[in-house]
Copies of this chain bind each other. A is one copy, B any other.
Amino acid sequence: MAKTSAGRYFEDFRIGDVIRHAVPRTVTTGDVALYTALYGPRFAVQSSDAFAQAIGYPRSPIDDLLVFHVVFGKTVPDISLNAVANLGYAEGRFLATVYPGDTLTATSEVIGLKENSSRRTGVVYVRSTGWRQDGTKVLEYVRWVMVNKRDEAAKPHTELVPELATTVDPASLGAACPSIHAAGWDFGLSGAPDRFDDYAIGEKIDHVDGMTVEDAEHQLSTRLYQNTAKVHFNHFAQVRTRIGRRLIYGGHVISLARALSYNGLANVFHVAAINSGAHVAPLFAGDTVFAWSKVLGKAELPGRGDVGALRLRLVATKDRTCEDHPLRAGHDYEPGVILDLDYWALIPR
């Protein structure tokens, strides 16, 4: 009668399984303050109730990525406790606004399984959903992880690699963004004059600033999300591995890069969708994170004259500045690149 959970291994997953994740979490202004202290975001809508109210929100919404991290955290004990690596994200959509006081829960459906040729691991694809206490979906995304097998001889019941959209259809964006009262948007207060029409496809922006990460910081953030992945917290175990130290939660990098991107994308106030994402290389304490963005696309939203969508590639590096927009070197990423994230975000028109 084991009372502790050892987590699922590859052969424990079956296509179609729907997993209800444990530990509902009420998100509060306390979490918002910590999120600010951990990354230093400055997007006005999330920073100021008064700003949010002037454009039509009842108050500041919870930062989209904080919602993502909390939902992601819930999935870890069931999906990725025995994961070797978090391989990618796709089809991520933010579907409803979350406010302080809302409670989040999560479920995941297994949508793909593929044994690796080594037979020691396999790839598990899940579509995870975040829910609000009233039964509203707030977030949906697919991620796939490489998971250890318990028994090398075990075979998956069915193998299936799901077909995933390379980008989220822009016509489906905006569900989590109320109608914006454009005249109330104060571009002096938000920090830059640039709006939808001021960004051009192909444009590259170096976000200039760098942020060094400490072990205490990423541990605080990862625990805040109730993410229990062992590699982030257990120095005693990590020094006995090939890596030799604690790994920083990839979501910490996403939030740092997003906060840095304010300098250049000040009015890009809402992450509406995640098209794809990869943690290209690990980040460790003491490393300094930089970031740059490229405008991959632009889209008008059906029936909405208030906001438009920018498709952005957000690239983060460690110990390497981004004035030269480092990305690819042949088939590989350039040394120092740690994150390659492709997302849709909303900006006033």
A residues neighboring B (CB under 8 Å)? 1, 3-6, 20, 22-26, 28-34, 36-40, 42, 44, 47-51, 60, 77, 101, 103, 105, 133, 188-192, 194, 198, 205-212, 214-217, 219-224, 226, 228, 230, 233-237, 246, 263-266, 286, 288, 290, 319, 321
The interface residues of chain B lying within 8 Å CB-to-CB of A22 are 42, 44, 188-192, 266
8 Å CB contact of A212 from B48, B205, B226, B246: B246
Q: Write the chain B residue with the least CB distance to A212.
A: B235
Instruction: Determine if A233 and B221 form an interchain contact, defined as CB atoms under 8 angstroms apart.
Output: no
The interface residues of chain B lying within 8 Å CB-to-CB of A214 are 214-216, 219
- The CA of A81 and the CA of B43, in the complex, are separated in Å by 19
The interface residues of chain B lying within 8 Å CB-to-CB of A23 are 42, 44, 47-48, 189-191
The interface residues of chain B lying within 8 Å CB-to-CB of A50 are 24, 26, 103, 133
8 Å CB contact of A236 from B32, B133, B212: B212
Instruction: Determine if B36 and A33 form an interchain contact, defined as CB atoms under 8 angstroms apart.
Output: no
Question: What is the minimal beta-carbon distance from A246 to any residue of chain B, in angstroms?
Answer: 7
Instruction: Determine if A208 and B4 form an interchain contact, defined as CB atoms under 8 angstroms apart.
Output: yes
Q: List 13 A-B contacts (CB under 8 A).
A: A4-B205, A4-B263, A28-B32, A33-B224, A37-B220, A37-B223, A38-B223, A40-B222, A51-B103, A77-B191, A210-B234, A211-B233, A214-B215
The interface residues of chain B lying within 8 Å CB-to-CB of A290 are 236
Q: Write the chain B residue with the least CB distance to A19.
A: B188
The interface residues of chain B lying within 8 Å CB-to-CB of A223 are 36-40
Add 11 more A-B contacts to A4-B208, A6-B208 (CB < 8 A).
A22-B190, A22-B192, A25-B47, A29-B30, A37-B224, A42-B226, A49-B103, A209-B228, A209-B230, A210-B233, A214-B219
Q: Write the chain B residue with the least CB distance to A1.
A: B198
Instruction: Determine if B25 and A48 form an interchain contact, defined as CB atoms under 8 angstroms apart.
Output: yes
Instruction: Determine if A105 and B189 form an interchain contact, defined as CB atoms under 8 angstroms apart.
Output: yes
The interface residues of chain B lying within 8 Å CB-to-CB of A105 are 189
The interface residues of chain B lying within 8 Å CB-to-CB of A28 are 29-30, 32-33
- The CA of A264 and the CA of B1, in the complex, are separated in Å by 11
4 pairs of A and B residues whose beta carbons are closest in the complex: A30-B33, A22-B191, A40-B223, A24-B48
8 Å CB contact of A234 from B40, B194, B211: B211
The interface residues of chain B lying within 8 Å CB-to-CB of A192 are 3, 5, 22
Q: Write the chain B residue with the least CB distance to A20.
A: B188
Question: What is the minimal beta-carbon distance from A297 to any residue of chain B, in angstroms?
Answer: 17
- The CA of A3 and the CA of B261, in the complex, are separated in Å by 11
Question: What is the minimal beta-carbon distance from A204 to any residue of chain B, in angstroms?
Answer: 10
